Amino acid sequence: MHRSLSVVAVAVALALTAAACSSGGPTSRTASASASGSPARTPSPTPTLDTSGVEPALAALESEYGATIGVVATDTVTGASVSHNRDRRFGYASSIKAFAAAEFLRSVHGADRDERVRWTAADVAAAGHSPVTEQHVADGLSYDELAEAAVRQSDNTALNLVLTRIGGPSGLDAALADLGDDVTRVLHDEPELNTIEPGSTEDTTTPAAFAADLATVLDGDTLSGADTDQLVAWMSGNATGDTLIRAGAPEGWTVADKSGGAGGIRNDVALVTPPGGHPIAVAVLTTKNDPGAVYDDTLVAKTAAVVLDAFQR
Active site residues: 94, 190
Greatest extent of the chain over all pairs of C-alpha atoms, in Å = 61
Intra-chain end-to-end CA distance of the chain, in Å: 29
Got the DSSP string for 224-237? Answer: -HHHHHHHHHHHHT
Question: How many other β-carbons are positioned within 10 Å of the β-carbon of residue 280?
Answer: 27
Do 124 and 133 meet the contact criterion of CB atoms below 8 Å apart? Answer: yes
**Closest by CA position to 167, among listed 189, 150, 148:** 189
Non-local CB neighbours of 194 within 8 Å, separated by 6+ positions: 91, 93, 203, 262, 263, 265
Q: What does the alpha-carbon distance between residue 234 and residue 100 come to, in Å, rounded to a whole number? A: 13
Q: Any bridge partners for residue 72, and if so which?
A: 83, 283
Count of CB atoms situated within 10 Å of the CB of 122: 9
Q: Is 256 helix (H, G, I), strand (E, B) or coil?
A: strand
- Helix H or strand E encompassing 92: none
Q: Assign residue 154 a region: left if phi > 0, alpha if psi is -120 to 50, beta otherwise? A: left
At 11 the three-state DSSP class reads helix
Is the distance from CB of 15 to CB of 78 less than 8 angstroms? yes
Strands 67-75 and 280-288, bridge-based pairing: antiparallel
